[in-house]
Amino acid sequence: MAEYLIKNGFVFDPVLGINGDKKDIAIKDGKIVESVGASAKVIDAAGKTVMAGGVDIHAHVAGPKVNVGRWFRPEDKKQATYEPGRGVRRMSGGFSVPTVFKTGYEYANMGYTTVMEAAMPPFYARHVHEEMRDTPIIDQGAYPVFGNNWFVLEYLKNGELENTAAYIAWLLRMTKGYAIKCVNPGGTEAWGWGLNCTSVH
């Protein structure tokens, strides 16, 4: 049973109408509570802002398109190391496309607790989840890409809404996806033929 007391911080909580008031926050087993015991670990936040962690609902931090960016920026690796503390040095993969290690620390430094990968190709879902597991500190989830999925387009073109729903539900379950990502439906297929996407047909 973990207990913490964050003392003397300037607390911001728009939901409760708290706007920079100096308050103490009690936490027990990961939840904010009214009070904690005398043995709780005290964190002195004097002069600091205390607020809920940020959630980035649309980011590109894991998976094949990020790795393509890493391949095309090898010069970033020549100079880039990251020191998370205590003299530990790790290759961070640069500034334009950081490694998963640096990604976790950079988001945490900005006050984020959760980041959602917004374009997980279903065939590469295992790799996306592998990279998310290797990302320290932050929580992550991923959205499978459906906007150019051939089965979805065919079902919709034929008016088969139940099949569309069943297929999407199955693919979300199989990829351990969090939500549907649908952008520029049919655009990839049209682009492959040098065309624009003007209708579901």
- List pLDDT tens digits, range 32-67: 999 999 999 999 999 999 998 999 999 999 999 888
- List, for residues 74-90, the tens digit of each pLDDT value: 666 665 555 666 666 66
* Pairing mode of beta strands 3-13, 18-28: antiparallel
Q: What is the pTM of this model?
A: 0.75
* Pairing mode of beta strands 31-33, 18-28: antiparallel
At residue 92, the pLDDT reads 60
Instruction: Give dist(CA 132, CA 94) in Å, integer.
Output: 18
What is the Cβ-side half-sphere exposure of residue 18, based on CA atoms within 13 angstroms?
16
